[in-house]
Amino acid sequence: MSVLTRPSAPLDRSRIGRLQGKARYAPTLATVGLFVAMFAIGAAMYPGFLSGQVFLNLLIDNTFLIVLAVGMTFVILTGGIDLSVGSVVALSMMIAAALLQAGWNPFAVILLVLLTGATFGLAMGLVIQVFEIQPFIVTLAGLFLARGLCYVISVESITVTDPFFTSMAQARIPLVGKLFVSPGVVIALLVVAVAFYLLHQTRFGRTVYAIGGGESSAVLMGLAVPRTKVLVYGISGVCSAIAGILFSFYSLSGYSLAATGLELDAIAAVVVGGTLLTGGYGYVLGSLAGVLVLGIVQTFISYEGTLSSWWTRIVIGALLLAFILLQKLFTRKVRLT
């Protein structure tokens, strides 16, 4: 045989591998670090910034975005994308508002909205999987479809007067001291916890990562790839519906133009949170941190007072760019070694 013999013992690369295993967390840790740094800067610049309630308000104001980002994380981990989430949020709000106006039981309404979101997501997942169409295009169609359906329900804004919804809007869950959160925060954090469990403790979750790492490999390894890919969009649909309900709690209305462009905020949060758009790398806790970073940018702008709220967008844009560049560096390093 003419293959060359290696004179020395095979190189033990395991230690490097372990280090690289840790490097996987680098983008996510960077986001957490950024958040802490921004909070510290805010505390130094503005009196009253350094308070538990400012932090909790970040959660309270962004419950729906947290839930959306969670659903989006699943999709992006498989290497896909879901552009429909903003529209599905609006559709969920419209369905809820219209049915509540018609005098439905609020719990029946919530159940129906969740079912609608799940069906919508699963349907898109099926189209993507069965016809092998780009997720981008399928969910773009979903975006238009859901937005259009909102107008079918009502062109006007519908106010929600249901006692359960209004009580949820006003409820304050007291914590230590004068600190409090809204029920929405509890729900959103619960969603994060369930997602974390699904991704790290179930075969379904590991298959999500495997698909992102290499779909054809995952198929050859005998994993349930088609089912997982469809389910991922179903999860994103359910998350959109939950986000819609949380948004309803927050705004007490349904409006066809609500949540426009929210899908982009969700994607931005996921990417800033360290998830690779090509799939396979990322954490749901990173996405939570991503939402908080976007939220704190907004808080900054409002504390500054003199700046137009559009500065939020500019800063988020810059952050997004910075994080994508960071990821590029990260992946290049992995490939080199």
Partner 1 sequence: MSETVPVVDMQGISIAFPGVRALDGVDFRLFPGEVHALLGENGAGKSTLIKALTGVYAIDGGTITVLGTRQSFGTPAEAQAAGISTVYQEVNLCPNLSVEENILLGREPRRRGGIHWRDVRRRAQEVLEQLQLGHIDPRSILSSHSIAIQQLVAIARAMQVDARVLILDEPTSSLDADEVQQLFSVIRTLRDRGVAILFVSHFLEQVYEVSDRMTVLRNGRLVGEYLTRDLPRMGLISKMIGKELDALAELEEAESRRHPDRTQEVPFLRAEGLGRKGSVRDVTVTVHAGEILGLAGLLGSGRTETARLLFGADRADQGQLSIGGTSRTLRTPRAAIDRGIAFSSENRKEEGLIGDLSVRDNLILAMQAGKGWWRRVPRATQDKLAERFIKALDIRPSSKDSLIRDLSGGNQQKVLLARWLITDPKLLILDEPTRGIDIGAKTQIQKLISSLAADGMSVVFISAELEEVLRLSDHIAVLKDRQMVADIPNDGVTMEDVMTVIAGTTP
Binding site for partner 1 (CB under 8 A): 1-7, 10-18, 20-21, 24, 197, 200-203, 206-207, 209-210, 212-214, 216-224, 280-281, 334-337
Residue 21 or 305 having the CB closest to partner 1: 21
Residue 211 or 296 having the CB closest to partner 1: 211
Tell me the DSSP string of 91-122: HHHHHHHHHHHTT--HHHHHHHHHHHHHHHHH
Least spacing, CB of residue 283 vs partner 1, in Å: 12
Least spacing, CB of residue 275 vs partner 1, in Å: 12
Question: Is residue 126 helix, strand or coil?
Answer: helix
Give ∠ CA 300-259-181 in degrees, rounded to 5.
55
Phi, psi angle pair for 13, to nearest 5°: -100, 5
Least spacing, CB of residue 21 vs partner 1, in Å: 5
Least spacing, CB of residue 121 vs partner 1, in Å: 24
**Separation of first and last alpha carbons in the chain:** 29
Residue 183 or 280 having the CB closest to partner 1: 280
Residue 202 or 302 having the CB closest to partner 1: 202
Residue 105 or 201 having the CB closest to partner 1: 201
| Whether the Cβ atoms of residue 139 and residue 124 lie closer than 8 Å to each other | yes
Q: How many CA atoms lie within 13 A of 174 on its CB side?
A: 3
| Whether the Cβ atoms of residue 241 and residue 85 lie closer than 8 Å to each other | no
Least spacing, CB of residue 131 vs partner 1, in Å: 17
Cα–Cα distances in Å, from 147 out to 3, 77, 87, 90, 157? 62, 26, 5, 7, 14
Least spacing, CB of residue 210 vs partner 1, in Å: 5
